[in-house]
């Protein structure tokens, strides 16, 4: 019997558009956007940032050093946050309905820059003080020092949340993350491209 639903965030609850970051930086004068992305990837900057092994200041400096541009913190943060689009109100309503019947939780690979933006976004659009209020409890990779698809991050969630793996379903748009959750006993649902999580529940593909 399913008692808990554990959601991924980007690509499941909130829409994202990763290429927007490079396009926005190019508007600011970055001429080698693709090379910058490859450079950051080669240095594991994205993962290190989301595990808090690289600070936001260090991440910004990597961008400045590679591009040779004296971009401000605010400019870099603005570009970095353009990856984040919108949370359709129907998904917020879904979370509210589910919380009447299930424990509803969040596990997100994210970083301090994005987390601060999320809180501003939900305050402006939904009147909430912070993103966490949409869930019974939320876990973020940068606060945990762990990163999906490491199975250990799921073990930590189960332990800290007092959740039973067999009673918990995990929903993510990346198959590798779902497989990692299943490897420690959770039930998994891979939200495929073109699927909307609201329709998944309403069409009975998952419990409601």
Q: Which CATH class is domain 19-81?
A: mainly alpha
* pLDDT single digits (tens) 100-128: 999 999 999 999 999 999 999 999 999 99
Query: What does the alpha-carbon distance between residue 193 and residue 59 come to, in Å, rounded to a whole number?
Result: 29
Query: What does the alpha-carbon distance between residue 153 and residue 14 come to, in Å, rounded to a whole number?
Result: 21
pLDDT at residue 204 tops 90? no
Q: Does domain 4-16+86-202 have CATH number 3.10.129.10?
A: no
Quote the pLDDT of residue 207. Answer: 74
Q: How many other C-beta atoms are found inside a 10 Å radius of the C-beta of residue 22?
A: 19
Please, which contacts does 29-36 make with residues 24 or more away whose CB atoms are closer than 8 Å?
29/67, 29/69, 30/67, 30/69, 32/66, 32/67, 35/66, 36/63, 36/66, 36/67
Start-end ranges of CATH 1.10.150.240 in the chain? Answer: 19-81
Q: How many other C-beta atoms are found inside a 10 Å radius of the C-beta of residue 195?
A: 15
Quote the pLDDT of residue 128. Answer: 97
Quote the pLDDT of residue 205. Answer: 81
Q: Which positions ≥6 away from 165 have C-beta within 8 Å?
A: 158, 184, 185, 186
* pLDDT single digits (tens) 131-178: 999 999 999 999 999 999 999 999 999 999 999 999 999 999 999 999
Start-end ranges of CATH 3.40.50.1000 in the chain? Answer: 4-16+86-202
Query: What does the alpha-carbon distance between residue 81 and residue 72 come to, in Å, rounded to a whole number?
Result: 14
Quote the pLDDT of residue 208. Answer: 60
CA angle 48, 142, 114 (to 5 degrees): 95
* pLDDT single digits (tens) 182-194: 999 999 999 999 9
Stronger pLDDT, 53 or 33, i.e. the higher one = 53
* pLDDT single digits (tens) 40-91: 999 999 999 999 999 999 999 999 999 999 999 999 999 999 999 999 999 9
């Amino acid at each position: 019997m399913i008692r808990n639903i554990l959601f991924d965030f980007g690509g499941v609850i909130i829409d994202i558009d990763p290429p927007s970051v490079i396009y926005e930086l190019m508007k600011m004068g970055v001429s080698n956007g693709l090379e910058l992305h490859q450079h950051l990837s080669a240095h594991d900057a994205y993962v290190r940032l989301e595990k808090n092994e690289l600070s936001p200041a260090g991440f910004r400096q990597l961008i400045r050093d590679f591009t040779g541009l004296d971009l401000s913190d605010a400019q870099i943060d603005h570009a970095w946050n353009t990856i984040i689009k919108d949370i359709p109100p129907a998904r917020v309503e879904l979370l509210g309905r589910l919380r009447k019947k299930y424990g509803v939780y969040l596990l997100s690979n994210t970083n301090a820059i994005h987390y601060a933006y999320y809180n501003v976004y939900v305050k402006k659009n939904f009147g909430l003080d912070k993103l966490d209020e949409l869930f019974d409890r939320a876990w973020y990779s940068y606060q945990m020092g762990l990163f999906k698809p490491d199975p250990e991050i799921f073990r930590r969630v189960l332990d800290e949340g007092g959740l039973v793996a067999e009673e918990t379903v995990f929903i993510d748009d990346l198959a590798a993350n779902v497989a990692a959750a299943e490897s420690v006993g959770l039930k998994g649902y891979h939200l495929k491209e073109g699927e909307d999580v609201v329709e998944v529940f309403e069409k009975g593909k998952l419990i409601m």
